[in-house]
Structure formats: C-alpha cells, structure tokens
Structure 1
Amino acid sequence: MAANEPGQVTSPEDSYQRLRTEYERLQLLYSLAQQFATMLSLPNVLQHVLSATTRFTNAVRGSIFLYGEYDEVQMHLLSERFQQARLTPFTNRILREGLASWVLKHRQSALIADTNLDERWIDYPSDTLDVRSVLCVPLLRGRRVRGVLTLVHPEIGFFTMDDEALLNVIAQHAAMAIENAQLIADINDERRKFEGAFTAMEEGLILVDGDGRIHFVNPQALAFFAVTPPVPEHLNELSQQVLGLFKEAQQTGDSVRAEIVLEQNPTTDLAIHIAYIPIFSEQEDWWTIVLHDITRLKEYDRLKTQFVANASHELRTPLANIKLYARLAQQVKAKTKLPQYLETIASEAGRLEAIVEDLLTLTRLDSGLMHSNPEWVDIIELLRNLAQTYRPLAEAREQRLIFQECTSNLPKLWLAPDQFMRVVVNLLSNALKFTPTGGTVTLSVDRQTQAGQAGTLITVADTGPGIALEHQQRLFERFYRGSNPTESGSGLGLAIVRELLALMGGTISVASTVGQGSQFTCWLPLEQHTHTA
C-alpha cells in the first residue's frame, strides 16, 4: 500500500487499514521468527518461507535458489510444487545473467515494477504466466548470500517498498534458519558416518560417561555379551568384569589394557582397552571401551605351543637314538655289532628326515606356499598303478589288497598327481600297517554327489582293529596317534592328508567300528577338476 502524499489528509479508515496491515506484518514476523527457531529441517524451512511470503504478499508464484559455499546452486525450490526443481540450461542462464545473479552479486534486494522496462528480468520461454512485477531479496547471513527469494505477479507495480522491507527482514530470519538447518544436517551427517563406521567395525565399542552410563554401544559389543535390545543404560547391566576395569582406569587416571574370558557357549576371549577422552564437555568425563575378540589368537597360541612341544618331543627321540648308537659304534670292540649300530643310526636318521619333511609340508600348507603342478590325470589309472605297487607288500604280510574300479567312466581330473598320490599312499600305508595277517585292504573309486555337487569318491577300507569314537574325532589333529602313542610315526600323516585334500577342494571322513575295521573316505568335486576339453 502506497504512503499518502505530503499534505494529504489521512482518513480514519486509511489509518486503521495501515495500522492493521502493520500489525499483520509484525504478527507474521513474530510467527515466522518463532517457527524458524524450532525448524531443524532445511526443506521445511524453505517451504515455509515460500508458503508464508507468497500468501502474505498475494504473489502468484515464488521460488528460492539456495547457494553453497562457492555460490554454486545447491537447491531450486518452486512454490507450485514445494519441491526441488531440476536445473535447466535456461535456469543456468538466469543464474549467470538474470535478476538472481544481480542480487547475488550486489547483496541487496531488487523491486521491479514492470519487467518490460528492466533488462535484469529474463522471461522463461515456456512460461504461461506473463510476469510483470517482481520482488527479489537475498537471504543474507553476514556477508554471505545463502540464497535468493523471488516473488512474481502479472500485475504492473503490484509489490511495494513496504513488501520489500518486510521481505528483507523475513529473509534475514530465513537465512539464519537455513544456516542452522544446514549445520544440523551436517552434524547429523557426521553422526551417521560415525555410527556407520563404528557399527560396521569388527571390534566392540562402548562410549560411557564418568558415571559409567552408556551413551553409545555398537552391535558387535552387544553380540560379545549376548545382549539383545533394549541397550543397557549402565555398564553394571552389561558386564561386571568391564565395570571393574573401568573403575580401575578411573582410579589410576590412565588407560587400562586387560583380557577377560566370557564363559559362554562357546567361550570368548576378549582384549579390552579403556581410555579417557579429554573432549566434549567440561561437566562430564568421557571414556571409550574397545573390545577385541582374541579367541582365535588364543587358540592359535595354544596350538603353536602344543605344536612346538610335540615337534620337540618327536625330534628328540630319534636324535637321542642316533647319539646313543653313534657312541656305541665308537666304543664297540666287536666288529660284528657295528653294522647293527649303523643300521639303527640310518633308520633313526630316516625317521628324523621324515618328521622334518612332514613339518616342512605343513608349514608350506599353512603359509599358502605349497607349490602345485596340476595336470589332467586319469584317476582310475593312477589308483590301479598304486594298487599294483603296494600289492607285493600286502602279500608279503599275508594280506589281500583289492582295487574296486568305478563301473562308469570317470572324467580326467585337473590336479597335482604327486599331492593326490601322497594322500592315497598315506591312507594305504596306514591300512596295511594296522591290518592283521589274513586281513583285507580295499581301495575303491566311484562317483558320488554331495549337497547337489557331483564328485569323485576314493575309499580305503581295512579289516583292522578299528578306532574308538573318542579317537575318531581327533585323528586329523597334528601329532595325534590315538590309543597307540608308542606306535611308530610322527602323527602328522592324516593332518597332511586333510590339508592336501582341502587344497584340492576336497574333504576326508572316517567311519570305524572297534574289532571290525576302519574306512577313510576322500571326496573331490568334479566341477572344479573335470576335464572339459
């Protein structure tokens, strides 16, 4: 509404109307200021600015360009849809040459009474609205333009200077609300990144205050203690062991590293690191508790210790015999006993060499350095030759060695023949060694599908004394020799067999009945090894 000319008498109706308009403007400013103070969502702030300003000024249409730190357009919002509009080549021209560009450059509002007389206004080619009046104000925060608010109307001279002044005040509040909303959005984004990173980590993480109240705990930490939602509020609800270590850290004022054992099924070993965080708040102390699952490391350490002890024991026996018989050979006076002593030394040296070779094989398998030279192998022919090679040994012991061939043709397999032969030789040697005089060892090969996958089955069965169930479960452990710990051999053969088969993608199992015999079954997948040429 235009002000009265100088000297013109103002009627009571005009004064009342002007006071009413000013009151409504103040009400709008007060209402917007309150609403902006509580709005934390950037889209809600922008939509509210457009809705309130177009409604109060009776503008036909409004839009907001939101700028980033380097004056790049982050968002274009239109009042018709109250949603982000796509930036088009023509929109980019407006941003470079039009009214929005002018307002951004000069950091001041622009009031156009007639767009036909102002070159700053560029009409949209496809716009059905004949825009004649435009009011454009910057959303200023300090010296930075956060955005540009534009209102349009088809009537010439529709917007007044009072509208411009009002919109400049609203724009200041809106710019502050936009800055706050963007700050909240950035904080929430960083929080999501923080929570995402610590939720995905394998270690457990707990963030507590000085009173032990839990402010953050990731899923892995809850899984360690087998806790399901809702999340405990205090450490004493999560773990008394962790609470005790936390109090120790508080008393010493230093970080604490310790290990605890969770008596669950299965038992879990945890390494704990509790550290003070000298940030966040002067009123509260903050602490991080990091939990590492070291169960597997503990098991590896136990196995390593056991392995070293067993290896030392196995190596010590032949070494002691070699030293003993070497000394006897030096002291012997009767030359007739010398060949016997030398033969024993040679035998023990061979046993020592076999143990060392087995240890080296396991080391190469463990480290992934086991060399393999695969080729296409006719597995039936290979097994037939092995049976012929070992049949004289069986006959010398008055045993029978039978080879049962597959009734259907098997394709050639792509595998390392030396490794495969070592598997079968080990099983045949064990079978012949434990089968009594008059017994039978059977080597067979056939097709078998497991879990929907076609494969080759190699079986070595004997009629020996059999293996008790409690020993069957540990047969493939290193250095394990079952109920016959004094039996010759390193106890590494079956462990090597299992590792070699795993290298070829296969498996091994045992079935045995005490007093009737044992059967070792190897399975290799055909899909992985089949000759397709």
Structure 2
Amino acid sequence: MIRKDGTTVWTEVKASLISDENNHPVGILGVTRDISKRKNALDELRKLSRAVEQSPDSVLITNTKAEIEYVNPALLKISGYSAEELIGQNPRIFSSGNKTKKEYEMLWHTITKGRVWEGEFQNRKKNGELFWEATTISPVTDQNNKITHYLAIRRDITEQNRMTQELIAAKERAEESDRLKSSFLANMSHEIRTPLNSIMGFASLLPEEESKELLNEYANIIVKNSEQLVSLIDGIVLYSKLQTRLMTYKPTRFEASKLFSDIKDSFSLAVFQENASLNYECNIDGATQLFTDYDKLRQVITNLISNAIKYTSGGEITVGCNSGEDHYEFFVKDTGIGILPSDIEHIFERFYRGRNIEESTTRGTGLGLSIVKELIELLKGEIWVESEVGKGSTFYVTLPYVR
C-alpha cells in the first residue's frame, strides 16, 4: 500500500463476505493491518541467512549442551564433513588434540559467563589433514538475556600461519647469518694476521742471522706461513666465485689413478707435520675413466682431507672410493675429534664451525665445508657426514655415472 505521502506500507488484508438473511451477498468486510515491521524483520532475517550461507568463513551454532545445530557451507567445504554427519555432534569432532583440558575449561568458562572467546585452533578435517583456524565464540541470548546458543565464526589461517613461521625462520636465519659473518670477519682478521706476523717477524731476523741452520728454519717458517696465506686467499676467492655463480662445470675424462696420485703428492708433507697417517682404499680399477670436472672434484677431496688433518693430529685418515649401481662414491674417514650431533645439520652452512672445536688451537674460516657442498651441487652430486664425538667422522660424496 502506498500512503498519501508516497511511502510504501506493507499490510496484511483479511476480507470476509457479508450476507443477508436469505444468504445473499450484500457486502464485504475488510480488515487491513500494518505489518511493515514484521516484513522488514523477515527481510533482515533472510538477508542475514543469505550472508551466513554465503560467508567465506565457517559458521557453527550449538545449543547450551554443545550439540551442533547449524553449520554453513563454508564449514562443510573446509572440513570435508556433510551436514548430516555434524548435526547433533559435539565440536570436538574437529579436535586435533593439541589443546589441553585446561584450555578447553577456560574457553567454556568464558562463554558460559556471557563473554566472547577468541583464539586459534589446530583442527582436523574428516580426511585427517590438520589446519589452523582463528575462532571467535560468542553466546546468543534471548529477550530475557538467557544464553540459548553459542555462535562460532572460524577463519582458515593455515597459509597465514605457514607464512608467519617462514618469516620467523627467515629472520632467525638472517640473524644467525649476521652473527656468523661477524664471527667470520673477526676470525678472518686473525687468520690473515697470524701468518703475516710470522712472515714479517722472521723476515726481519734474516739480515742479522749468521747461522745457516737458523736461516733455513726461518725460511721454512716464512714459506709455510706464505702457503697458509695463499690457501686462505684461494678459499675466499673460490667462495666468492661460487656465490656470484662465476664457477662453471667443465667435465673432462680422466683416470681415477691420476686423481689419487695427485692428491697423495699434495698431502705428504702436511700429514707428516701433523704426525698423522694417510691411507688410500680405492675399490675401483685405477684405469677407470671418470667423466666430471677434475679440478672441482680434486678441490672437494682436498678440502675434506685438509679438514680431516686439521682435527686428527696423530690419528689416521683414510681416503677411498667405491662404485655403486649408478654412481661413484668417494669418502674421507678420520679418527679425529668427531662432530657433535647438534652440529651435524649445520656443518655445511657458511661460516659455521663445530662447537667442540678449540678456537685457540684450531684455525679455520668456517668456509671449507660450505665450499665443498656447493662444489658437489655444481657436480650434480651429494654429500653427507656420519660422525661420533671422540671417534671421528666420515664424509661421503657421490657422483652420478656420466658416460
């Protein structure tokens, strides 16, 4: 109905026939009632119902006995359950078991007191998959302010939580990297300064020394420290090339015997000076042709042996190789100090040094094993370590057959 002022009014009309004493119709009795408020309320209710049905968030309603009475399509979609499977059930059907009894008691205490509870749940889908939801649970009251139902609105935050955890992990890695870099720079200063001081100190003694025996000793010390300095700089340059992707894979064919012969010649003096023994166990024919980047493979094994010598004073080092079904395996085994279990997963990280290393007596930059790992990745191989503290370590390297 349209009023005189042009506004629309919803009305309910009831009409009845008026008859005379002979039952002949003589008129109509009409009653009109304004139902605008009721109609508007119904419209609002339908609108609310559609909003809940179409909401991307999960909506769940329970009675005061915690029995589910309503679930919207979004909840059915994410949980994998049907409405028939959920109606009448307790919401614990979604429980993953990661919340304690005390936490549930606090939740129940909050909502039964008429207050809103907000928090996160790790819930379980029908197929067993876990997912995270941010949940708000609020009481629903009647006109007498008595709680009749509880309304839970839940939003899937699984991806958000995953990204948050990744950001936290990235932040921790960045902080650890900064710490290791600072330690590396401080250590590098010491690593460079130590051989330089020796070179400068003994070089200054040469002009005044008359003893040929002492001159030879000073000269040997200068040469040894110069070699250490060159090795240090070579390592830094190699690391820099790997980081800037300037290293390229240059495969060639060569005999296994050549590789081990060259390595043996390189370490005869170093092994003697450390009072260690270096053994070779190559279980493939020396004439076997390997096809990979010779220089990089040699660098890998050289670094592993150097590392073993550093931590195996007076012990035994074994270098060897085996052949598998589709790969060659190289290993460097020592009877040194070993690696702590907590260090194993970090040992190939840049600047990382084992926690059981005596810094004052064992020098190093923390780059050697990270260089080895990156070289192996360049060679399309794999590397891992097995170790026991106090008994030694074995580093394994595998390279695929290339024909």
- The alignment's TM-score, normalised by the length of structure 1, stands at 0.38
Larger RCO (alpha carbons 8 Å, 6+ apart)? 2
- The alignment's TM-score, normalised by the length of structure 2, stands at 0.49
